[in-house]
Amino acid sequence: MAQIAKVSQKVQLRSSGHKFYELLKNKMDFVFQMFPDVYKSWKVLEGNGLAHGSIIHLKYNVDGPSEAKERLAIDDANKSITFECLEGDLFRDFEVFKLKIEVVENGSNGCSTNWSIEYVKANEDVAPPHNYLIIAAKISKGIDDYLCKN
């Protein structure tokens, strides 16, 4: 059995962790619309798209056009959302792919987002998914800019 690997990145932000998490969790469709260069479309397949266990279908662009069917795991106590890939283009390179964002309050210094990806490579030639962390940082900073202006 292949070994689960993990890559992660922390992004320091100016906005309130509570506001950041609530926007991400409750207005995910708006967040997807904020980044049209990344997210091409999204559709709820099961649940309401905002609740734990919901399944969504995403068309997105990270290193080229891709699609994924993902299950959401929402943990309000830890202000985290996990996107577990169930089907899609990611499985050309990975047997397992789970992207998680955790929002951490930093008091009067805003918040930080801790992005992590747990994955299992389909073969040894596959590079770690650092490109997804680059996009994740861009999304965090874009949401932060929006919250600081509004």
Q: Residue 23 and residue 71: Cα distance in Å, rounded? A: 19
* Residue 149 identity (one-letter amino acid): K
Q: Residue 26 and residue 62: Cα distance in Å, rounded? A: 24
What's the topology of domain 5-149? Answer: Alpha-D-Glucose-1,6-Bisphosphate; Chain A, domain 4 (3.30.530)
**Distance, CA of 86 to chain centre:** 14
Q: Residue 101 and residue 132: Cα distance in Å, rounded? A: 12
Q: Kindly report the pTM of this predicted structure.
A: 0.93
pLDDT mean across residues, the chain: 95
| Mean pLDDT along residues 10-25 | 96
State yes or no: pLDDT of 1 exceeds 80: no
**pLDDT for 142:** 97
